[in-house]
Amino acid sequence: MSGIFLMSSILLALAVHLVLSVRRARKRVGNQPGRTFFLAAANILANFFPRVKYINTGLNWGFLEKHDIFAKHGQDVLSLTGIYPYPQVDILLADAGAVKEVTTCRARFPKPIEQYGVLGFFGGNIIVSEGNRWKKYRKISAPAFSDRNNKLVWEEAAQITEDMIEEIWHNGEIVHVNNFLEVTLPIALFVIGVAGFGKRMSWEDEEIPEDHSMTLKQALHVVTTDFIVRILLPNWALSLTRRFRLVRESFDELKQYMNEMIKERRNAPNLIRHDLFSNFIEANDDDGRAVLDEDEIVGNIFMFLVAGHETTAHTLCFTFALLALYPDEQEKVFRQINSLMPRGRKPSYNEMPNFTYSMAVFYETLRMFPPVNFIPKSAAEDTSLSTTNNNGQPTTLPIPKGTNVTILVPALHYNPRYWKDPHSFKPQRFLEDWPRDAFLPFSAGPRACIGRKFFETEGIAILITLVSKYKISVKEEPQFAHETFEERKARVLKTTTGFTLCPVRVPLTFTRRR
């Protein structure tokens, strides 16, 4: 009996200690309202297991919640309290003013690079660094994303899409695609191949080079589609199944290819190329002395590859899904394209700014389906944030040193304070005066996406090439014959989350324009 009493007393003492610890943690951030879960949001288990009320946030929660959690509490700064492994209170932001302050003040709110350490398996890179190391990577990376590289992206993206229409679709009058992601992924891969590495790939099978077990195209495909496997699993686990072994082999092969390309570029210094890899190696040469070592070059190029491939492929897939669901918007895109490039004339890279409605559609897609749902920051010192309270009055929120501050991008993008009728697909809003501080698909401030123009150029080139030739509609399937528009919309735009926000299945039909 005494043993039971002792155990009960210990459990009660632990419970009281836990409650008091949570209260102290919440008090330090001004008792900001919000939600509490057993698993802290930073705990990887919280993000990769299904949502359980009061236990964990669950997969894809930021996109599924959007602005609802903020609307419920009537304000755009909330707390997210986690109990395990220790009481922790994170701050969630959907306030554009507070977001601008956080993204602009890099010294006060640096990136918590400890959360990104797993992305450094090839070497130090711009994603997993801060301070002087980040400045060094940024200085060398910026010139690589040059206008001459963007021109190459434009030309190759359009040509690769043309080749796909001819070689895979055989210029068909009507083409049914079971999942359009199976089209956008290889197109984005081929663009990365030539504009990123100077390696043109074919839609046909290729021969495996000597001293390799797979082609560069095969290695890139596995690495970009199964990247999340490499992140989540320790090295020893990569030998457990055939799929995992293929992932490990693909990463090894890609690293070997990149090391070979570094040697090739260095042995041919007078070879003029405009691909990202060549530009990066050229920018790394400081009066004959390499600023970065080989692992750092590979690490940075690899992160550009992964970030550029998946985000482009997924965003394009969502874009065409929306155009299929909203034919009136699709017609506006086509009419402008047809007026700018009649009789199938190919536009030049310099004409890209003229395709304003295509860009508006692209931006509206990014607003509704931001590739990255969370932008994490951490307070480097005891500081504060300016925001507004429930009554709309200016207020100051205390942010203790070490507090995680997370920008919830979908909440910002669906915040009715900044976007009228935010759940509706309205590209026109980006042709008018729009709230730039409330649009963060590329992050913002000094750490904004360095490859933004590369990404936009590729996307617009592919978009106008396909829309100029084909009318897009949702593929008719017997099992969905009686669904309502809202049911169809929910099905076609259903999402999941891997490395970035991903469409589940987008079945489309392409009908040749006349």
Stretch (H or E) spanning 78: strand 77-84
Instruction: Give the integer Cα–Cα distance in Å for 353 and 496.
Output: 32
- The neighbouring-strand residues paired with 82 are 37, 88
Distance CA 165, CA 324 (A): 18
> Please, what is the end-to-end C-alpha distance for the chain in angstroms?
87
CA 341, CA 465: separation in Å to the nearest integer?
Answer: 10
- Closest C-alpha to 335, from 360, 358, 316: 358
The neighbour count for residue 486, using CB atoms within 10 Å, is 8
Nearest Cα residue to 157 out of 453, 365, 460: 460
3-state secondary structure 368-413: HCCCCCEEEEECCCCEEEEEECCCCCEEEEEECCCCEEEEEHHHHH
3-state secondary structure of 425: coil
Q: Which of 5, 40, 10, 45 is nearest to 25 (CA)?
A: 40
Dihedral of CA atoms 378, 380, 386, 387 in degrees, nearest 10, equals 20
**In the block, which residue shows the tokens 């197109």?**
187
Work out the burial of residue 110: count CB atoms within 10 Å of its CB; fewer than 13 is exposed, 13-18 middle, 19 or more buried: middle
Buried b (16+ CB within 10 A) or exposed e, 443-470: bbbebebbbebbbbbbbbbbbbbbbbbb
Burial class of 256 by CB neighbour count within 10 A (0 to 12, 13 to 18, 19+): middle
Cβ atoms within 10 Å of 155's Cβ, excluding its own = 17
DSSP, collapsed to helix, strand or coil, labels residue 81 as strand
The label of the residue with tokens 């260095």 reads 266
Inter-residue contact 280 to 140 (CB < 8 Å): yes
Query: 3-state SS of the chain: helix, strand, coil percent to 5?
Result: 55, 15, 30
Which spans in 226-326 are helix H?
227-232, 242-267, 276-283, 294-325
Helix (H) or strand (E) holding 60: none
Cα 35 versus chain centre, distance: 26
Distance CA(331)–CA(424), nearest Å, equals 17
Confirm or deny that 105 is annotated as ligand binding. no
Binding residues: 449
Could you list the residues known to form a binding site for heme, using ranges: 449
